[in-house]
Amino acid sequence: MTDCLSRKVLRQVRPLGHDGLADVLIDGDRIAALLPAGSAPAELPTLADGDGRLMLLPALVESHIHFDKTLWGAPWRPNSSGPTRNHRIANEQSVLADFELPLAERAAPLIEHCVARGSLHFRSHVDVQPAFGLARIQEMLALRERYAHLVDMQLVAFPQAGLLTAPGTAELMEHALALGLEVVGGIDPAGIDRDPVRHLEAVFELAARFGRGVDIHLHDGGELGRFEIERIADMTEAHGLAGQVVISHAYALGAFGAEQLHALADRLAQLGISIMSCAPSHYMAPPLALLRSRGVNVCSGSDNVRDTWSPMGNGDMLDRARLIAMRFGWSRDEQLADAFDIVTRGGAKALGLGERYGVAPGCEANLLLLPARSIAEAVVSCPLERTVIRHGRVVARGGALTEDARPG
């Protein structure tokens, strides 16, 4: 429902790095039209004025974050974990067991920070561990509800400590899905549960039974990881889940040359399986350019943000695009635009946002304005002067939320 009161204009902006300037007509929560600059009716209210200087981009997409783990709202805490993954799992359980701040007070300021940096679409994992019980799941659901006016957030039921081997996890996973978590998570079917096929069968069986997508954290490397990716493809096909499966990290794909990956990449593309990579610089990363050239959808995320696993993530997906480009030595404008595509359209596709995502008439007006002449320049310079628009309202400007970011 729209009326003339709901119509506003973004004036004198440069959509997506095109050379020309535009006025963008917003109607309610949607983009109504892109018009030549200066041609939008002067009597309509101005939502923001780009002054010929600001580029108009779609909101950034954070495809892999752990809001439930972050210590963002708390004072600096030195990393206290031992070196292995099992140390980190135990360390997290111990630190969070009696942490000074509850989940909501840690995650809420991080969500707001991410919004101020331009992300409006999220996929957050939520640990499903008997050690945390239902509380963590319910706290994340409450937090999502609290921020529903500001962000889209998918939640993944994530069996961090294993699905088969941690007693009680399978039941808790069902409970989590019944409570509304949208995606069935998995983790290192060989590396953690030590039984890759049974782990994947359990994940896909849950996904089929609840009608949900799948997102597997796969750190298992080399031949082992590649075998697991092949089996994920098999099960995606068998369960008719094409287009609904994400493999996160997929370090194993970094261990092979292009020739060795063509057939597997083609299969991932055909099954609509997305690869999520943070483009880590201290591990082998999947060859994102090769995957994209074969038609595989690639998205990215901040992963651990200031938590007991790592202090490093910062919730800024434009900085992540810069890190992706640096990771692969991308320096040409079209390569820098590829990095930007990964943190926008790639994420939107992985999260199934469909036609409502983008800078085009009919899309939801979830937008980012920043000073740059080209997408390449935006990625390289990562300006902090950002104006963020959600459903046609300015919700953040200059690094802070606006009054319009309040529920209403």
Interface with its own copies by CB under 8 A: which residues? 75-76, 78-79, 280-283, 306, 310-312, 314, 322-323, 325-329, 331-333, 336, 372-374, 376-377, 380-381, 384
**Helix residue ranges, H only, 98-168:** 103-116, 133-146
Q: Shortest Cβ distance from residue 223 to its own copies (Å)?
A: 22
- 231: nearest Cα among 218, 243, 249, 244: 218
CB-based contacts of 36, cutoff 8 Å, min separation 6: 20, 21, 22, 23
Cβ contact 30:364 at 8 Å: yes
Q: How far apart are CA 343 and CA 182, in angstroms?
A: 21
Pairing between strand 60-65 and 54-58?
unpaired
Least separation, in Å, of the C-beta of 336 and its own copies? 7
Which of 384, 400 has the CB closer to its own copies? Answer: 384
Complex with its own copies: residue 362 or 399, whichever CB lies closer: 399
Tell me the closest approach of the beta carbon of residue 328 to its own copies, in angstroms.
6
Q: Which is nearer to its own copies, 214 or 343 (CB)?
A: 343
Q: Give the shortest CB-219-to-its own copies separation in angstroms.
A: 13
With respect to its own copies, which residue has the nearer C-beta, 343 or 376?
376
Q: Where on the phi/psi map is residue 261: left (φ > 0), alpha (ψ -120 to 50), or beta?
A: alpha
Report the amino acid identity of residue 53.
Answer: R
Tell me whether residue 238 or residue 384 sits nearer to its own copies (CB atom). 384
Q: How far is the CB of 96 from its own copies (least distance, A)?
A: 17
Q: For the CB of residue 83, give the shortest distance to its own copies in the complex, in Å.
A: 10
Distance, in Å, from the CA atom of 375 to the CA atom of 372, rounded to the nearest integer, reads: 7
Q: Least distance from C-beta 366 to its own copies, angstroms?
A: 26
Beta strands at 22-27 and 367-371: parallel, antiparallel or unpaired: unpaired
State how far the alpha carbon of 360 is from the alpha carbons of 22, 309, 331, in Å: 12, 39, 28
Q: How far is the CB of 222 from its own copies (least distance, A)?
A: 18
What gap in Å lies between CA 109 and CA 129, rounded to an integer?
24
For residues 38 and 399, which CB has a smaller minimum distance to its own copies in the complex?
A: 399
Tell me whether residue 306 or residue 393 sits nearer to its own copies (CB atom).
306
Q: Pick the closer one to its own copies by CB: 276 or 375.
A: 375
Beta-carbon contacts of residue 221 (< 8 Å; ≥ 6 apart): 251, 252, 255, 284
Q: How far, in Å, CA of 297 to CA of 272, rounded?
A: 7
